Amino acid sequence: MVSTEDEARRTLLVAKAAEIGRRLFAVRRREVLGEGRVIAGGWPGTVREARAVVVAALAPALAERHMSAPTNDELGWVMHAAYGEARRAWLTSIDHEEDHEG
């Protein structure tokens, strides 16, 4: 049986992964558009970049809720989920922009 604390932790990890992914996308989008380029091609972010953001954001979020530090497995899962979220947002944005060009 899963405890309420475990469920709260899992909910937080899922929410932070989505939030971090959206943040990674927004930063990269702003950079690309600021350089006068269009959003095109594959996601330009890196797994290393995602990991750095996750490491910086996750521990404080857990500590704020009096939860233990993230495990390596949790860091890995959140990093991959955040990277996937950023990539999906990028690819969706490409489709969206192409729809408005024609």
What's the domain count of the chain?
A: 1
| Cβ count near 74 (within 10 Å) | 19
Closest CA to 31 of 23, 84, 82: 23
In this prediction the pTM is 0.85
- Cβ atoms 62, 68 nearer than 8 A: yes
Q: What is the pLDDT along the chain (102 residues), one digit of tens a residue?
A: 668 989 999 999 999 999 999 999 999 999 999 999 999 899 999 999 999 999 999 999 999 999 999 999 999 999 999 999 999 999 998 755 444 444
CA distance 51 to 19: 14
Range of the domain at 34: 4-101
**H helix count then E strand count, the chain:** 3, 0
CA distances from 29 to 21, 35, 49, 56 (A): 12, 10, 15, 21
CA distance 18 to 58: 12
